[in-house]
Amino acid sequence: MAVKSKALSPRRKRMSRAARLQSGRHWLRSFSGTRVVPSYARWFGVDLICAAKELQILGMHFAPEYLGALRRTGAARARHCRDVPKGAKAVDVEPARNQKFAYIAGYTVAGLPFVITWEETAGLDDDDVPFTGDDFEKGDS
């Protein structure tokens, strides 16, 4: 049995710069939005700096401050992608229920739970405790 081939991405996202510039002239005539650089980048599948360069080639003018902001944004994205380790996994912060912890009181800003132990609930009145030790079945883990 033959192996199925994967569908290709749209042609406009596989174009070379020369083809993008030729197609970009027609795209600019029909463009009606306000954010031309991000729209061009998304439509043709290029980054913001490449989109700005190609739009300048097509005759658009941008403020130097805007181009500097685009470079800083691209550098920040690259730095973020470089600093996040590949294969990083989320940490499971929900602890398994056991006999030591009575109640999860809340979560920290980082997402870690803070708990009330059975010893801490011993000094409270029955009206202050929203549960009893019998509320949890012995078979739960």
What's the half-sphere exposure (Cβ side, CA atoms, 13 Å) at 11?
A: 2
In the structure, what pLDDT confidence band is assigned to residue 80 with cuts at 50, 70 and 90? Answer: confident
Predicted pLDDT of residue 72: 92
Number of Cβ atoms within 10 Å of the Cβ of 2? 4
Please state which of the ranges 52-56, 83-87, 126-130 shows the lowest mean pLDDT.
126-130
Predicted pLDDT of residue 141: 46
Q: What is the mean pLDDT of the chain?
A: 81
For residue range 37-71, list pLDDT tens digits in order: 999 999 999 999 999 999 999 999 999 999 999 99
CA dist 82 and 102 (Å) reads 42
Q: Please determine, for residue 139, whether its predicted confidence score (pLDDT) is greater than 50.
A: no
Predicted pLDDT of residue 129: 57
Mean pLDDT (whole number) for 68-76? 91
- Cβ 66 vs Cβ 34: under 8 Å: no
pTM over 0.85: no
- Output 98 or 30, whichever has higher pLDDT: 30
φ and ψ of 113, to 5 deg: -80, 145
Predicted pLDDT of residue 106: 79
